[in-house]
Chain A
Amino acid sequence: QQQVKQSPQSLIVQKGGISIINCAYENTAFDYFPWYQQFPGKGPALLIAIRPDVSEKKEGRFTISFNKSAKQFSLHIMDSQPGDSATYFCAASYYGGSQGNLIFGKGTKLSVKP
C-alpha cells in the first residue's frame, strides 16, 4: 500500500520556468512533510519541510504548498536552473512521535533545459 503518491514521474522545464511536483498522502496521522533532492551518486539532501499547521513555506526559490483537507502538498521551484536537475522526493512521517520512519514518494526526475 503506497501511502505517499508523487507525480509526475518526470518533468522537463525550461530555464527560468516554474517546476511543480505534487504529492498526496492517505494517513491523516502524518504531521511532517519534507522534500529531498538527490543527485546521481549522492544521498538525498533535505530541501525544505512543512508541518500541517501552515499552508505554505518558502525558502529561497523553493516553496511548499500544503492542503490539509485535500491531503496534498506540492513543491514549487521558481526560476528553475539547470543545476536544479535532480530527482526530488516527497516524504511524510509522524513528526510528533518517532520520526525515524519516513514514507517516501516514488520520486520525480526533473530536467531543466538551458
Chain B
Amino acid sequence: KAGVTQTPRYLIKTRGQQVTLSCSPISGHRSVSWYQQTPGQGLQFLFEYFSETQRNKGNFPGRFSGRQFSNSRSEMNVSTLELGDSALYLCASSYDSNQPQHFGDGTRLSIL
C-alpha cells in the first residue's frame, strides 16, 4: 500500500509570492492534516480536513489555507509568503478521526 505522497519535495519562493502544496493520502484514508515543522517551533498543527470539510484549524494567520477534494487529496496554500514561512510542511492521513495518523516526507519550502 502506497504511503502519503507529498509534492513537490522542495520548493524555493521569494517573499510576497504564493505557493500551493499537494498531498495524496493513503488509499482509503479520508482525514488529512497539515503540520508545519521548524527548528524553533517544532511541529505545529495547521488544519485538518475530513470529507472535504475543514474540521480543525491551528493558530496560524489567514494566509494559510487548504482544501480537500472528493478523492481525499488535499492542497494547502500560503499567500504573501514571508521569510518565516520557511519550513518543512508535513501532511498526515488517517482513515477516520479516531485512527492513527501517518505522515508523508514533507515539502521543504524555502523563502528567499
Contacts and interface: CB of A to CB of B under 8 A. Distances in A.
Chain A binding site: helix, strand, loop or mixed by DSSP?
loop
A101 interface: yes
A103 B45 contact: yes
Contact of A43 (B33, B42, B97, B105): B105
Main secondary structure of the interface of B (DSSP, over half): strand
A99 B90 contact: no
Contact of A49 (B55, B100, B104): B100
Nearest to B96: A99
Interface of A: 34, 36, 41-46, 49, 89, 91, 95-107
Interface of B: 4, 31, 33, 35, 42-45, 47-48, 50, 55-56, 58, 90, 92, 94, 97-106
